[in-house]
Amino acid sequence: MMDTPRVHIGPEVLDTAAHDALTALVAGPTHGAVVTFVGQVRDHARGQAVSVLEYEAYVPMALKQLGAIADAVEDDFSGVKVAVHHRVGVLGIGDTAVIVAVGSAHRKAAFTACQAVIDRLKADVPIWKRETGPDGAVWVDDRP
């Protein structure tokens, strides 16, 4: 992406170049600590093998929620900068699904803010995943 947006949801591969672009968005002379969270597709879940994972989003709202989470975390941690990209579509094992990058003057706020972003994303952003394993495909629903 030429001009990397702060938040993005799309089918584009999240590779090293994407990671670098997100890092660059939140880094800078005043931001000496950069923490990134990279979420990749795991080969198992709930005791079952996983071969393929498909992510689906209600994109307009998910983008709005992501932006609101980034704003809120930047408000909560003064001076922190946040960028998040989430991939949608069919992903294989080891593919990157999400990258969160947080820049801060100091490491403690960067770590804490990065965790806050991914935790809120998992709770409030309308993105769903469908796991395909030996028994077929199922939409992941983390309630009992």
| Complex with another protein: residue 19 or 64, whichever CB lies closer | 64
What are the CA-CA distances from residue 46 to residues 16, 18, 128, 133 (Å)?
A: 29, 30, 16, 11
Angstrom CA distances, 43 to 92, 94, 104, 140, stand at 9, 8, 33, 14
| Cα separations in angstroms, 137 against 44, 53, 82, 95, 108 | 13, 9, 34, 18, 40
To another protein, the closest distance from the beta carbon of 62 in angstroms equals: 9
| Residue 12 or 119 with smaller CB distance to another protein | 119
Residue matched to tokens 């990157």 = 96
> How far apart are CB 20 and another protein at their closest, in Å?
25
- Interface ranges with another protein (CB under 8 A): 39, 45-46, 55-56, 58, 60-61, 64, 122-130, 139-144
Residue 11 or 32 having the CB closest to another protein: 11
- Minimum distance of another protein from residue 105's CB (angstroms): 28
| Nearest-approach distance from CB 113 to another protein, in angstroms | 18
